[in-house]
């Protein structure tokens, strides 16, 4: 028997507030199939900061919408689960203001204690994205009980490679979707970017206890794009997120942490860039990703 959750029921299931609620309705069609729906209006706040001259739903919010659909019908409480990994993510079409998105998810076989779904986001124009997501128990690290140690090697000084203004000159991202603070250091094809996670950030007042997992993908992508767009041959161009081969989440990230994004971006003449990256908190790896993006004329 199917189960349907309208907006009021979703409000009881989730504590997420605008602009981080990415489901209007959700349906459990049967034991292995879920369906979700989201109508996008031009007034969604993330459009202000994501390619403002040509607003686009951020690709990582496709992934977040999939996560929310899977959690809508997961056993227990939403807080009992976290993302372990996403893989085989492809962004095929843009979702624009005024589009209506349907999410279709199929439950796959997985290890005991995990939930694994293959999902696609679809509009009237066709399939916009697809992803496979694995959820597991939210156990282990549960936040800080004392002030964490700091690693000062990459703190902001006059010696950093790119300050915030320089980053913004390379990318059109702005609040609330500019997710790196500066580039601390560059070494041939490797870049070290910094993101300070503040308790004042929008998503923490919208129902999230930790940094939304999908945003770690965006943080990795922005660090990579800022680096590659700074190369002379790419002056004036734009970078678009195209795919995630695999992203692995080692633990949640909490307010007060400084994230160091270490991306390796091999040089090449192709308009497509492929890179790998790790995100550290102090000396601990909290996230790893392999991704692809396109470099196009502005």
- Higher-pLDDT residue of 27 and 152 is 27
| CA pair distance 191, 244, nearest whole angstrom | 19
pLDDT category of residue 101 using cuts at 50, 70 and 90: very high
Tell me which of 3-12, 72-81, 142-151, 240-249 is least confident: 142-151
Instruction: Report yes or no on whether pTM surpasses 0.75.
Output: yes
- Provide CB contacts within 8 A for 270, sequence distance 6+: none
pLDDT tens digits for 212-223? Answer: 999 999 999 999
Do 239 and 229 meet the contact criterion of CB atoms below 8 Å apart? yes
What is the spatial distance between Cα 37 and Cα 27, in angstroms, rounded to a whole number? Answer: 9
Confidence bin at 297 (pLDDT 50/70/90)? confident
**pLDDT digits over 139-194, tens only?**
876 677 777 666 667 888 888 999 999 999 999 999 999 999 999 998 878 889 99
Among 3-7, 139-143, 211-215, 240-244, the minimum mean pLDDT is found in 139-143
- Compute the distance between CA of residue 63 and CA of residue 120 in angstroms, rounded to an integer: 9
Give the chain's end-to-end CA distance (angstroms, integer). 50
Cα separation of 31 and 235, whole Å? Answer: 50
CA distance linking residue 105 with residue 2, whole number of Å: 14
pLDDT number for residue 174: 94
Residue 259 in this model has a pLDDT that exceeds 80: yes
Report residue 270 CA to chain centroid gap.
25
State residue 234's pLDDT score.
Answer: 83
Burial class (CB in 10 A: 0-12, 13-18, 19+), 191: buried
Instruction: For residue range 31-79, list pLDDT tens digits in order.
Output: 999 999 999 999 999 999 999 889 999 999 999 999 999 999 999 999 9
Q: Is the pLDDT of residue 227 over 90?
A: no
**What's the confidence (pLDDT) of residue 154?**
84
Written as six digits, the tokens of 2 are 């199917």
Round the average pLDDT of the chain to a whole number and report it. Answer: 92
Neighbours of 297 (CB within 10 A): 7
Domains parsed from the chain with CATH numbers: 3-137 (3.10.129.10), 152-297 (3.10.129.10)
With 70 as the cut, is the pLDDT of residue 268 above it? Answer: no
Q: So what's the pLDDT on residue 269?
A: 58
Token couple for 3: 């189960």
User: What pLDDT was estimated at residue 270?
Assistant: 65
Per-residue pLDDT, 151: 61
**Interhelix angle 213-229/59-72, nearest 10 degrees:** 170
Only one residue has tokens 């080692």, namely 250
Element spanning 224, H or E: helix 213-229
């Amino acid at each position: 028997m199917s189960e349907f959750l309208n907006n009021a029921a979703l409000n009881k299931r989730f504590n997420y507030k605008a602009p981080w609620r990415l489901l209007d309705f959700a349906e459990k069609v049967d034991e292995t199939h879920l369906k979700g729906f989201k109508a996008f209006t031009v007034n969604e706040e993330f459009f202000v900061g994501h390619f403002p001259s040509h607003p686009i739903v951020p690709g990582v919010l496709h992934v977040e919408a999939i996560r929310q659909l899977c959690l809508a019908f997961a056993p227990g409480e939403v807080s009992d689960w976290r993302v372990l990994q996403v893989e085989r993510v492809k962004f095929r079409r843009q979702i624009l203001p005024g589009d209506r998105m349907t999410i279709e998810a199929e439950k796959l076989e997985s290890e005991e204690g995990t939930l694994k779904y293959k999902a696609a986001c679809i509009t009237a124009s066709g399939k916009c994205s697809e992803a496979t997501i694995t959820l597991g128990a939210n156990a282990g690290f549960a936040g800080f009980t004392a002030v964490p140690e700091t690693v000062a090697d990459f703190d902001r000084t006059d010696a950093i490679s790119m300050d915030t203004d320089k980053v913004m000159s390379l990318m059109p991202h702005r609040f609330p979707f500019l997710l790196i603070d500066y580039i601390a250091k560059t070494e041939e094809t490797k870049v070290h970017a910094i993101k300070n996670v503040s308790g004042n950030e929008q998503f923490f007042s919208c129902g999230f206890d930790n940094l939304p997992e999908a945003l770690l993908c965006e943080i990795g992508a922005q660090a990579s794009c800022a680096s590659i767009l700074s190369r002379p041959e790419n002056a004036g161009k734009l970078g678009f997120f195209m795919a995630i081969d695999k992203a692995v989440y080692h633990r949640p990230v909490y307010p007060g942490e400084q994230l160091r994004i270490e991306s390796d971006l091999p040089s090449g003449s192709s308009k497509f860039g492929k890179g790998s990256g790790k995100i550290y908190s102090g000396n601990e790896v909290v996230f790893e990703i392999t991704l692809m993006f396109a470099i196009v004329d502005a």
